[in-house]
Amino acid sequence: MNTSILIARVLMSLYLIFGFGMLMNQTYYKQEINKLLLKPTFVLLSGFLAITCGVIIISVHPNWSDDWRVMITLFGWGIILKGAFFIIAPKQTQKIKYTLSKSESIAPMTILLLVLGLLFGYYGFIK
């Protein structure tokens, strides 16, 4: 199995499971996200974890082809940028995440997670 398919399958699993979890338990996730945002340690650890995952992805998958595999490389770079923002601007991160945790933001986030999961699943298992 090549690296692109492996990463697509892992991302599919994460996004579909989290998306279905949010779909079935919106109230729970809204409350828990708000609790986590009160803790600066969570923002910093999330930043470190995001940078670590992003560096791993771009290290094992530096693919700049003109097909679907470039999505994974871009995704890795996006994760690094997200992690850097969490560490460089933690207060702004908390404000943004607080806005996203409001009830009207949960449905679009859930849809985004499910769509990403299906997209990565398509490329990881079908294509």
What single string gives the DSSP state of each residue in 13-58?
HHHHHHHHHHHH-HHHHHHHHHHHHT-HHHHHHHHHHHHHHHHHHH
What single string gives the DSSP state of each residue in 76-92?
HHHHHHHHHHHHH-HHH
Looking at residue 107, its pLDDT comes to 83
Whether residue 16 contacts residue 118, with contact meaning beta carbons closer than 8 Å, is answered with yes
Instruction: Provide the residue-wise pLDDT of the chain in tens; the chain has 127 residues.
Output: 699 999 999 999 999 999 999 999 988 888 887 788 778 898 899 999 999 999 999 999 999 999 999 999 999 999 999 999 999 998 888 777 767 666 677 788 889 999 999 999 999 999 8
Whether residue 124 contacts residue 12, with contact meaning beta carbons closer than 8 Å, is answered with yes
pTM, entire model: 0.86
Looking at residue 46, its pLDDT comes to 92
What three-state secondary structure class fits 65? coil
Structural domain boundaries, residue 92: 3-126
Looking at residue 27, its pLDDT comes to 84
Domain count, the chain: 1
